Structure 1
Amino acid sequence: MTTTVDYADLPSLVGKDLGYSEWREITQDQVNTFADATSDHQWIHTDPERAKDGPFGGPIAHGFLTLSLTIPMWTELLDVTGVTTKVNYGLDKVRFVSPVKVGARIRMNAVIADVAEVAGGYQITVDQTIEVEGGTKPAVVARGLSRFYA
């Protein structure tokens, strides 16, 4: 469910758990497209036959592919109205805790850790956890930074 908040009310979100995004399946086509875009064609990602005998029993998504999916999942969780510009400002910390096998479903939980004023706007610090359906550990744990300008 999307939390909608007006720009002026962003500071009230500190500590708010925004809940979970929808589940999304990781496909081999996604992995291959990401490999093409990044020139990372390591067999553990792009060769399903060889990957069957690898350490994970099949191909896995690139960690950075999984991390990049925080963007569409984040937009499912928060909508800020009354802004002219929304910027992905970066990351403070990222850990790839466990692999995401092709065919797995993932979703993200987001908690607003901080909201700080910056020149012309607000910066939001968000604790993001991507989990794998049926997994015992998260796939990715990240602290993301977003900026909103009025």
Structure 2
Amino acid sequence: MLSVELNDLEHFCGTTIGHSPWKTVTQEMIQAFADATGDHQWIHLDVERATRETPWKSPVAHGFLTASLIPLLNQEVIDVQGKGASINYGINKLRFPAAVKSGADIRSKMELLDVSRVDDQRTLATYRTTVEIRGEDKPACVAENLVMYVA
């Protein structure tokens, strides 16, 4: 994990910060996400049917479940010191090139694209986060995510 002072973060622009540890996306996580969001589509929840009728031969995680794991994964890649809070500020671009099968392992790869001072209290960082799937060629998710660091 990279530990860096907020004032020094700009020195890492254009670089890969690192990778998170692998995390397994379980069927229980997929079910909990479906229950929280009301998205109970069978490709996520019906194990027998998804195994039989989908090209993945398995239930798959919701794309937005994968995206929602970005903050959890990324907090294990970088520790920005000298800030009071980190706020998920938004996403400029979000794509889901490949599905995450139930039971698959994922991790994030973080690249710092930009850092800009908003004012005396706030600094906006733009990261490209690629959520990789163990053993797969295509990533599950590629996001240009924004983090607002507040002093």
Fold conserved between structures, TM > 0.5: yes
Provide structure 1 residue ranges, at least 5 long, that are not aligned to the other structure. Answer: none
TM-score, normalization by structure 1: 0.96
SS of residue in 1 equivalent to 2:146: strand
Given that 1:92 and 1:144 are in contact with CA atoms closer than 8 Å, whether structure 2 keeps it comes out as yes
1:13, 1:117 → 2: CA distance?
15
Aligned position for 1:132 = 133
| Structure 2 alignment gaps of length 5 or more | none
Structure 1 distance, partners of 2:66, 2:147, is 18
Distance 1:37 1:63 in 2: 14
Deviates most, 125-134 or 53-62? 53-62
Once superposed, what is the RMSD of the aligned Cα atoms? 0.9
* Paired residue total: 149
Offset of residue 16 of structure 1: 2.2
The match for 1:78 is 78
Deviation at 1:75, TM superposition (A): 0.3
- Partners of 2:69 and 2:25 lie apart in 1 by 10
Distance 1:87 1:114 in 2: 16
AA of the residue aligned to 2:135: G
Matched, 1:104 2:104: yes
Q: How does 1:58-69 map to 2 (within 5 A)?
A: 58-69=58-69
- Separation in 2, partners of 1:149, 1:35: 32
Q: Within 5 Å, give how 1:1-150 maps onto structure 2.
A: 2-55=1-54, 56-119=56-119, 120-150=121-151
- How far has the Cα of 1:52 moved from its partner? 1.1
Partner deviation per Cα, 1:63-114 (whole Å, 9 max, x = no partner): 0001111111110011111111211101000001010100111111000001
Query: Distance between the aligned counterparts of 1:146 and 1:54, measured in 2?
Result: 39
Q: Which runs of 4+ in 1 moved over 6 A?
A: none
**How far apart, CA to CA, are the structure 2 residues paired with 1:83 and 1:139?**
30
Instruction: State the alpha-carbon separation in 2 of the partners of residues 64 and 3 from structure 1.
Output: 26
Counterpart contact for 1:17–1:111, Cα < 8 Å: yes
Shift of 1:19: 1.4
